[in-house]
A and B are shown apart, each in its own frame.
Chain A
Amino acid sequence: MFLRVAWLVLRKDLTIEVRSREVLYTTAFFAVSCVLVFAFALVKEGQPLEDAAAGILWIAIAFAGTLALGRTFERERQTETLRALMMAPVSRPAIYVGKLLGVVTLLAVVEVVLVPLVALLFNLRLSSAPLLMLGLLAAGTVGFAAVGTLFAAMLVKARSRDVLLPVLLYPITIPVIIAGVRGTVALVDPAADVALAQMWLSILLFFDVVFVTLSLWTFEPLMTE
């Protein structure tokens, strides 16, 4: 039942996004623009600043994620459909999981464009441990989106939600961004340190478990009030 509801919400969100492509286009253009600007600033004569690429990749993911979260819930706010979801006789955490998976899917599509672009502009070596890199990206995205989905849903009714979302989101997700950056640096370094990257991945997975558990626990009371 829980998974069926999450799947219904996810499929609904993806159907809407496929029809409008509103969030995907704005998020992808923003992320690509962000990376291009950094590339112009930090790449001199074909040589990028050392370790800058990992930071830029995760900053672009975080900024694009914030934009996607805001737009996704703005859509529910405009038509008050979040209230209709809350009225359904289903587990509210299942609705949260459906929304979270929608945001993660959207960010995954953006990352499909973003990661090769950063690799191209900043001479990143992605081939040393591609599965580990995939794991870092997946775990970091889930951690960031887990907190972001909870806050974006909470702030749907707040007048200053566009200001409050990043103000609340970034301080709490800083550990995720740092773990993502350090893990990526460990992997893309010429002397790749797989063990170090695995340690950062473990930390990211720990954050994911904590953030998702706390969000599932608090979603229902927060949304009722």
Chain B
Amino acid sequence: MIVDFDRIELEEVSRHFGRRRALSRVSFTLDAGQVLGLLGPNGAGKSTLLAIMATLLAPSSGTVRYGARVAAEAGPELRGRLGLLAHDLHLYPELTARENLRFFARLYGSPEPEADVDAALAQAGLAGRADEAVTGFSRGMRQRLALERALIHQPRLLLLDEPFTGLDDASMAALIERLKGLRELGRLVVLATHDLDVAERLVDRVVVLKDGRLVADEASPAELRQRYRAYVG
């Protein structure tokens, strides 16, 4: 089954952990070619929401639709259209950059894993250090490699959890340009971040969460800082 979609739609999504409510009736939609900023203070429910959108966590109630399908209907094929870059980078430090990318390219069933790995290494600017173990890389290098790992199967929906943490200005600018490039390619990008400056420069829409509830869904991120303070207090 080929699974593809141009829109993701969340309807009244809630998630409880025991008696603790992590998300409460969150609804929004995202279309292809958009970068959505997911903002909110610590504990607002951003990571839980990303995990639900990544199909790693089932919602307690509500539905997430990927095009016309929900995750349970689409099966493992849907996961082949999703990419996740979390705060922890999902890389094996003992393996080299090439081995990390090769492992995930093969896991995702790439027909030409070596070509995909070479392209990803070039995109990350790590072609010259491809055969070095990741444990010796700087945070910025790991972050670039992790992003290419998340993109190696060319996902339709890319979920990013605080991807700018620990990056210097040059690495941050490069990552912003890479994400703008993905937007041009018609991908759907969800970016959970605390960094309002980055959000203003990059995102097309902003969703603000507080205590698991959606408190704002705005089309324009301009002058976001003032309004964000009003939303989260």
Contact = CB atoms under 8 A, between A and B. Distances in A.
A89 B109 CA distance: 8
A19 B94 contact: yes
A8 B58 CA distance: 27
A99 to B, nearest CB: 13
A15 B133 CA distance: 12
Q: Is the interface of B mostly helix, strand, loop or mixed?
A: loop
B137 interface: no
Interface residues of B, number: 31
Contacts of A224: 55-58
Interface residues of A, number: 22
Nearest to A95: B107
Contact of B93 (A5, A79, A84, A85): A79
A92 B88 CA distance: 21
A86 B86 CA distance: 13
Interface string A19-55: 1100000000000000000000000000000000000
Contacts of B90: 79-81, 83-84
A8 B106 CA distance: 8
A184 to B, nearest CB: 36
B228 interface: no
Contacts of A20: 94
Contacts of A79: 88-93
A113 interface: no
Contact of A83 (B56, B77, B92, B104): B56
A16 interface: yes
B84 interface: yes
B92 A12 contact: yes
Interface in B78-99: 78-80, 82, 84, 86, 88-95, 99
Contacts of B91: 79, 81
A85 B90 CA distance: 9
Contact of B78 (A8, A15, A89): A89
Contacts of A85: 107
Interface in A182-198: none
Contacts of A8: 103, 106-107
B41 interface: no
Given A19-B133, A84-B104, 15 more contacts: A5-B107, A12-B103, A79-B90, A79-B92, A80-B88, A81-B91, A83-B86, A83-B88, A85-B107, A87-B55, A87-B79, A87-B84, A88-B79, A89-B80, A89-B153
9 contacts: A12-B92, A15-B95, A16-B94, A79-B91, A79-B92, A81-B92, A87-B56, A88-B104, A89-B76
Q: Which 8 A-B pairs have the closest CB atoms?
A: A89-B80, A80-B88, A84-B90, A89-B79, A88-B107, A16-B94, A89-B76, A19-B94
